[in-house]
Structure 1
Amino acid sequence: MTSRELGLPMQVASPEPGELPAAVTIWEVGPRDGLQNEKEIVPLDVKLEFLHRLADAGLGVLEATSFVRPEWVPQLADAAELLAGLQRAPGVRYPVLVPNSRGLDRALESDVRDIAIFASATETFTRRNLNRGLDEQFAMFEPVVRRAVEEGLTVRGYISMCFGDPWEGPVPVEQVVSVGRRLLEMGCDQLSLGDTIGVATPGHVETLLRAFGTAGVAVDRLGVHFHDTYGQALANTYAALRHGVSTVDSSAGGLGGCPYAKSATGNLATEDLVWMLDGLGVKHGVDLTKLVETSVWMAERLGRPSPSRVVRALAS
């Protein structure tokens, strides 16, 4: 449902709509990236209903869970049980994050057809997150990606710390592009460029996207993943759309946080993204009313209000 159908004032459309994609794929990360940051374990039945509600709201890509070791992310220790109990909606993709070959084994056992790997653009974060150096991470990912491709799976490559690193500071653009090209050459179908600590600004986004283009990477191979630490997530998304990016990561209700930046407000809220896309006349396929109802429902189960401005406005 659009803002007009909700009986709300029409938003002003972009003065140059031809520069925007006609449609955007929303890559919903709330069930994985959002819930993995919860202090308390979310019950399996709540996770399943959350996924079912999101699919019913029209989201076509739902990142369901992660096959990481349970002691690393106990919030997602029930990944196999979740996928076994999931009623997969027709036409909806349910990618999962896999850290290594064992994670891929478990994904294949659960009949997963889309996976993602989680790389970094900086040395320090790679060592802290993977216990490997920047170059060493590729040796870990290569057999995973190769086998996934052989099995007919699609593979997404997340790149964290694309704009700034809490230990290293600003990240050189050419370093991010180098990591991205290596992942694509390895066999990844798409990259998700992550502003992990939420420090990016629109000009920086445009510079990085232009650099990928200069390096021969087509814009349809790129997605964006913004955090709203400094209130720039929507502005950064708009800059990416103007550059031709048509896949945007977001989290229902703004679930998720950033453990590497104080006062981080987490992922771009899917509702806030949908509201902006409606105003721009960009198709997305999501029923905003159902999505808001879902986020209100989840917020009640988590015991706190949603940080999404659109959820707060419409739910009131």
Structure 2
Amino acid sequence: MSRYGVHFAAGLPQSVQIYEVGARDGLQNEQRPVPTAVKTEFITRLAGAGLTTVEATSFVHPKWVPQLADAGEVVDALRGLSGVRLPVLVPNEAGLRRALDHGVTDIAVFVSATEAFSRRNLNRTVAESLAMTEQVITGAREAGGDRISVRGYVSMCFGDPWEGETSIDAVVGVGSRLLEMGCYELSLGDTIGVGTPGHVRRLIAAFGEAGHPASRLAVHFHDTYGQALANTLAALQSGVRTVDASAGGLGGCPYAKSATGNLATEDLVWQLHGLGIDTGVDLDALVRTSLWMADHLGRPSPSRVVRALAAENG
């Protein structure tokens, strides 16, 4: 597992599911177009490194996220890739129709926990976003029934650059609605990276008090203030078993300038393997993949583990 020894800690799971977001959340901010062939090769390499869930793209309107204008081509090119789930983000009914036209059966939807971000990101109130999301989920169910799985994201769960600290009650209220609409899992996003471990534990406990166990939750941390790994450990100690991460630490949020990169998948895997937690990921293969992508993007990977292992291997 770990080349420097395994040291178990109490209260942690035997295995963790990594929900890889590098191909979508990681690339959506890139200013220079990333060729479709590079995106599909990136996803194929991620799958080859042992990641079993890789969020491939988003069927958002190209006007808003030009980098993902080739969503249909990416999905079509990956049709023969086996052994990996390839969910896509769907912002509205138009995006759902496009995704269904390309045979997608695994989608994700998102809502903000704060009014300010909801208006800037979707030009809607939180209530209007929830109503739109319910239409998407209903449309997915009508089109494919149980054949289509829906994951929910809640953004700005810990803080908002315009509103300050986010109310735990607001996060639980929005998240509960998504779970009640039929999302199989809810990812709690620290979009600007301001959360700390105590806050993470309180939020997860609040969902439990509302009748939603930690087994229904995932976490999605950004490392703006260096808290992503500490927050992940707190979440695992609270019963969460799915963690979102981005290969090479790519990504951010195009609608929140203070949102820097996601938790790097390599940094997460290094920590988990050192704790004796199984991920199914080949860390060396993953590092090679992130170095390959960094070369295509023309800049070094932000991941500390990628940089350390690259230097170690010359």
TM-score in same-fold range (> 0.5): yes
Query: Quick one: which of 179, 193, 203 aligns to 1:198?
Result: 193
Shift of the alpha carbon at 1:257? 2.3
CA distance in structure 1 between the partners assigned to 2:172 and 2:220 by the alignment? 16
CA distance in structure 2 between the partners assigned to 1:167 and 1:218 by the alignment? 30
CA distance in structure 1 between the partners assigned to 2:192 and 2:290 by the alignment? 23
Aligned to 2:2: 3
Q: Structure 1, residues 72-118: CA drift from partner, whole Å, max 9, x if none?
A: 10000000011111154323100000011111111111111110011
Shift of the alpha carbon at 1:198? 0.2
Shift of the alpha carbon at 1:23? 1.0
Aligned to 2:271: 276
CA distance in structure 2 between the partners assigned to 1:198 and 1:249 by the alignment? 14
Matches within 5 A, 1:133-144: 133-144=125-136
CA distance in structure 2 between the partners assigned to 1:185 and 1:11 by the alignment? 40
Q: Any conservation in 1 of the 2:192–2:260 contact (CA below 8 Å)? A: no
Aligned to 2:161: 166
Aligned to 2:7: 12
1:77 and 2:69 equivalent? yes
Which consecutive residues of structure 2, in runs of 5 or more, have no partner in the other structure?
Answer: none
Q: Structure 1, residues 30-87: CA drift from partner, whole Å, max 9, x if none?
A: 0000000111110111101101100000000000000000111000000001111115
Q: Which runs of 4+ in 1 moved over 2 A?
A: 87-91, 257-262
Q: How many residues align?
A: 307
Q: Structure 1, residues 189-218: CA drift from partner, whole Å, max 9, x if none?
A: 111000000000000000000000000002
Aligned to 2:35: 43
Q: Counterpart of 1:229 in structure 2: which amino acid? A: T
Q: Counterpart of 1:142 in structure 2: which amino acid? A: E
1:59 and 2:54 equivalent? no
Query: Quick one: which of 180, 185, 188 aligns to 2:183?
Result: 188
CA distance in structure 1 between the partners assigned to 2:307 and 2:165 by the alignment? 33
Aligned to 1:290: 285
Aligned to 1:253: 248
Aligned to 1:32: 24
1:311 and 2:296 equivalent? no
1:120 and 2:112 equivalent? yes
Q: Counterpart of 1:287 in structure 2: which amino acid? A: D
Q: Counterpart of 2:45 in structure 1: which amino acid? A: R
Aligned to 1:300: 295
Aligned to 2:221: 226
Query: TM-score if structure 1 supplies the norm length?
Result: 0.95
Shift of the alpha carbon at 1:22? 1.5
CA distance in structure 2 between the partners assigned to 1:134 and 1:125 by the alignment? 9
1:238 and 2:238 equivalent? no
Aligned to 1:209: 204
Q: Any conservation in 2 of the 1:149–1:155 contact (CA below 8 Å)? A: no
Which consecutive residues of structure 1, in runs of 5 or more, have no partner in the other structure?
Answer: none
Shift of the alpha carbon at 1:239? 0.2
Aligned residues: CA RMSD:
1.1
Query: Quick one: which of 109, 121, 124 aligns to 2:101?
Result: 109
User: Are residues 88 and 228 of structure 1, via their aligned partners in 2, closer, same or farther at CA, if it must alter by over 3 Å?
Assistant: farther
Q: 1:178 is paired with a residue of what secondary structure?
A: helix
